Amino acid sequence: MGKGLFITGTDTDVGETYVTALLVKTLRKAGFDVGYYKAAISGAPTVAESDAGFVNRFAGINEPEDMILSYLYQNAVSPHLAARIEGNPVEKEVILKAWERVTKAYPYVTMEGSGGIMCPIRHDEKAVYYLEDIIQWLHLPVLVVANAGLGTINHVVTTCEYIKNRHIPVKGILLNHWKGGIMEEDNVKMIEEITGVKVLAKIRDGDSLLDIDAEEIISLYE
């Protein structure tokens, strides 16, 4: 069985998918056989047009659709609501079996979340699942993706503290839409000081690879 690492964002539009794709592509280019998996996506007509399809192509994984994604919903709302509208709610056993399959195929698997850490995945009379539940089922450590700009200190700190309070290890922070300058450099300093978690990468718009130590990142998979 392979090792895993979970990627979550501080919000829906921080570029979590793009950063995940960059991370997987960078590690694969460095010679590590890294796979990808996402449990549920809403707001996409097909897998190819979804976040999972983008990562599959961009990172050069090129796996069958059923290897990279378990649940696809058409409605552009949270997965729990999309499932309520469309049917086919997320089942724990489906996720566990899919994870077993992908971790048998790859020594390292990057799992992408859906929005922020508190995203409801299923909420009905039979079961209630949040994103954090999936992380705990699979015993995964987490990387947090956030915007680099104004307001990110609060978003990152509250996200990290929530994750830590659920006894889930936070392994690092990736700051997206990096422009540099005194404010963003101070954001890095304050985030690291308050959370005790290292900012591992500063990603500029248009980057085609991450400026990271691949060996350091691959050591975070568990």
- Residue-wise pLDDT tens digits, 69-95: 999 999 999 999 999 999 999 999 999
pLDDT at 115: 85
User: Span 22-42, mean pLDDT?
Assistant: 98
Does residue 12 have a pLDDT over 90?
no
Beta strands in 126-198 (DSSP E): 128-130, 142-147, 170-176
Q: What is the pLDDT of residue 206?
A: 95
What is the Cα–Cα distance from 61 to 55, expressed in whole angstroms? 8
Distance CA 205, CA 217 (A): 21
pLDDT digit string (tens) for 119-149? Answer: 999 999 999 999 999 999 999 999 999 999 9
Q: Please state, for a pLDDT cut of 90, what percent of the chain lies above it.
A: 98
Domain 25-140 has CATH 3.40.50.300: yes
Contact 158, 118 (CB under 8 A): no
Q: Compute the distance between CA of residue 141 and CA of residue 46 in angstroms, rounded to an integer.
A: 29
Q: Over the range 41-67, which residues count as b (16 or more CB within 10 Å of their CB) and which as e?
A: bbbbeebeebbbbbbbebbebebeeeb
Distance CA 79, CA 85 (A): 10
Q: Which two tokens stand for residue 75?
A: 């409605």
Q: Which residues are catalytic?
A: 38
